[in-house]
Structure 1
């Protein structure tokens, strides 16, 4: 094999198989001399691939874990499996991995051949995930389109449905995608309104990049997450949440979102005191899902709603 780039790719593909390859076997596979294999191994090391050599009469090579992640070669089945998994992680805002899922998915789908992209879409459309029901699902295609526009600093057009149902067309300069663990939001400069805005991604439709580049503007807060938190606080007044639980703090914390952190009182009890802009309905649902006895000390609106909800549920089981 005289084509050096092609030979290096074939060599890398072999080394990514979890086994040790004798130099003589690699040379035979690639139809080159053992000396050429040694030179190619050195080239891969220069590119950042941690290839380990073992000493001995025959000698061997294998790919090991390094300090950085170099590019990987994936076969068709591996690429489809990873894309489907990333779509599931990105589309349902899995806390802790959602933003990385979107970035990785955008990179992968950019280079997927059309035949594999079709297989990924077919698998996605044929499956129904079991979600927690406390956040809106988002089409992965929408997320990757927004992520690509953010990365490429391209103006973006899309349809948007406001909370009151009003439909509008928007032209924006996308700044960042932010996940709250329940929903995705786009922080962007709205060109038509000449101001910064936050958009719920599950209300975005038909996004497409215009191809027009822009120089990023300075966000008022300097941080997209802080700007989103401030915007949500304006839209939903904060309340003082005060709830005690007859359960250990670590048990309760594991069943609540990351921003709701209880404080231990004893080994078997804890109390949650915080200011939050979460809706009354959502708080009632999350507290019920903790699966432990609890007492609401405030706010009064939450107590009233839980009492009303309890009455409706009791009537439903009569």
Structure 2
């Protein structure tokens, strides 16, 4: 009995809503037994709601107190790693809360896991991203819930050119890239997939209207967001032809270059860089030039002049 109740609670925590039939199949009991177990959880102050509909169902809702979460070993370690990372991340005001949560998690863990997580909290640290706008954890929570529950979301969005407008989208995934948080969503009004910087979103309004999930053009949301950046056009665009295979270039770069890298033969590749900052483009070109492989640069005159000036400064003796 206690084991089945814990299993039922774990199922209710893993998904927003369950039908009585689905729960009965997962637990290997009858629907009537599920109803009795639900009543026992309610007697223990777990806020379980009954939902209406053809088959009816159950939902674990928010209550006055935070109920205990059930985590297996891998989930507990994943939460601890996430807390350490969050402490140095781009979510506003979360540093101290993350460390408090990690300390609480360590205290309630089974003895077999406590030393591992204690060591993690004692020696691990995350280097914060520089010059990255902070985002409100409450906003992330709203976006995550809309993605999980497949509910249409309305918000005001300010683009990179400071133009703003109302958007109504089908949220799919939250993705973090180089410290920035992005919402990947399908925009029915523009009939296409779009990415939205979370720090540029305001006046979020969950509509409580469900939508049918669409399949992404590629299976990996993070890969899709990264590729969309590589193909985007900004104020400055530069193209390089490098005397290295694409795989070798990626492996030898000390940092991720946000551009499209493609093979152009057995021993050459092309790189497309695009950004609103000329200085940023020059930094990426310098990183590739430092690999001591031959390359050709095709870029606007301003970029070529800046690269040439950088070369002169690097080769001129300091006096």
TM-score (norm: length of structure 2):
0.46
TM-score (norm: length of structure 1):
0.46
